[in-house]
Structure 1
């Protein structure tokens, strides 16, 4: 009898076909009604789950009696109740590294778009308002040779720093839970406190994991320390930033601009952010290229197969399995 796999979000068609050839596959379908109820029903006899973007916890997983792995097609795992999974000895795997460069590209795209007013000037041009030589209202910020502050010098943070240092001759500052001397040396990067980084940087990019230490890391107090010409970029998680405090800082021109790919509430349907001309808002697309999403799905598939065939997956989130 084939093992049962619950697919709880859209997945790459090639991986979907592979799963269907090997396993009894069931799909969570939002059009069929309550998603949590569907999950609760289907996990009763499921051996594995694969997907991303769903909140999975002790409530909707309570009926699972033989679940061995949740294979997340993501790096972040804040949607999953890790304490419950540890309790039930269920593997949680993720897909780090394969999206590093793609997400770093997106971070720098946000930085440049916000600094050079790309979206607002695009609309200004299309609206026929370019009738003479541009004036100071259309002026933006230089990037080359400025100071780049990275909060979180992990794989993605380091990739962003490399783009700034090698591509734009930027001075790199970083704040991390611990110093990374060898990596920092290759980038001529200076370790400093969070406050010092905020005070000295022309561009601040947040690239931390969401955890107890980083939750609400950036609020009104931290934003007040930034320079008035500074650009703030967040590609980590929305909960790292006090969104209302950021909105006020942007409205009051306390900082020059922001570039955001993540939010406290996703999908973001309504927000005062949408009324501001000094913020670039993207719909959480850091890893959203065809090549990267396929690589993520392939890695998640392999993690799942490893567990169902009795092996430890390559990337395990649960500390007890590592």
Structure 2
């Protein structure tokens, strides 16, 4: 009798040609339409699965895997994984993987572009033009802030933060950064960045960019007190996670002119956005697309597929997925 093949669940429509590689080793239950899965639906899908390919839309924790006795691996399509209760999953012996590196350059491109759009009031200017308000050139219309020669503050100096710093060098920016750990001197030299404390970064930055991981401990790290430290001419850009910012405090600062502008690609309650932010002209809003180039999104799915195949004991890296979190976790 032929042994039953392992079964994997794919939580969202991805790229069919890449996902099809799973069919070499597994029976695949692939979701065909974008879905906002209820927790009960996720639990049901995982109950008979040996592995799963999920996205940041799909929260998975202890409740979702309580009855999933066969589940051995979850491959997250994304570098961030705050949609997963990693400790709870690991306690069940489930390997968790993510997709770092492949999105670094694309996300750094977007972060820099979003910062520039906020500083130079690009989306505000486009709305103004489309609304028919441009009735002649005015010397003082829609004046923004310079990027070149200004001070950039980067909070979170991992791969993406370093990528932004390297782009900023071409604009002659003075670069400050704050991180949990100071970078080696050679990396600081390569990025032309100086380490400062948290308070100094926000006090001195003309443009501050958030690129740090989210955790329950740093929820609302950017609060009213931090915003009050910033120059009223400064901008704040977030391409990390929405929960890092107290959005009510940010809306207050933007509305009162205590902060010049913001660029936000992520939101605490996404896909819902605070109505006050939607109503403000001096904030650029994008729908969590910092990694959204075709080539990069395909690379992310391909890496997640490779991770899942390896985590379930197949392929050239069988038993050793490249991106297990942490690497010491072993399959049950």
CA contact (8 A) 2:10 2:28 kept: yes
Distance (Å, rounded) in 1 between the aligned partners of 2:33 and 2:299: 25
SS at match of 1:173: strand
| Aligned position for 1:163 | 167
How far is the alpha carbon of 1:221 from its aligned partner? 0.3
Displacement, 1:136?
A: 2.3
Matches within 5 A, 1:76-225: 76-165=80-169, 167-180=170-183, 181-225=185-229
Number of corresponding residues: 321
Q: How does 1:66-85 map to 2 (within 5 A)?
A: 66-85=70-89
C-alpha distance 32-158 of structure 1, shift in aligned 2 (>3 A): closer
Q: Distance in 1 between matches of 2:67 and 2:31?
A: 16
The CA distance in 1 between the partners of 2:166 and 2:298, in whole Å, is 25
Q: Deviations over 1:85-119 (max 9, x none)?
A: 11101000000010001111111111111111101
Contact 1:208 1:214 in 2 (8 A): no
TM-score, scaled to structure 1: 0.95
1:81–1:32 distance in 2 versus 1, CA, 3 Å: closer
RMSD value over aligned CA atoms?
A: 1.8
Matched, 1:37 2:43: no
By how many angstroms is 1:29 displaced? Answer: 6.4
1:282–1:34 CA distance, 2 compared to 1 (3 A): closer
Secondary structure at the residue paired with 1:311?
coil
Deviation at 1:16, TM superposition (A): 2.1
The residue aligned with 1:49 is 52
Query: How far, CA to CA, are the matches of 1:134 and 1:73 in structure 2?
Result: 47
More deviation, 265-274/52-61: 265-274
Indicate if the aligned counterparts of 1:10 and 1:51 stay in contact, CA closer than 8 A: no
- Following the alignment from structure 2 to structure 1, what is the Cα–Cα distance between the partners of residues 45 and 201? 48
Q: Which moved more, 1:272-281 or 1:1-10?
A: 1-10
Q: Does 2:298 correspond to 1:294?
A: yes
Per-residue Cα deviation, 1:254-300 (whole angstroms, up to 9, x for no partner): 01000000010011255211100000000000111110000000100
- Between the aligned partners of 1:192 and 1:269, the Cα distance in structure 2 is 32
User: What stretches of structure 1 of length at least 5 have no aligned partner?
Assistant: none
TM-score (norm 2): 0.92
8 Å Cα contact 1:82-1:318 kept in structure 2: no
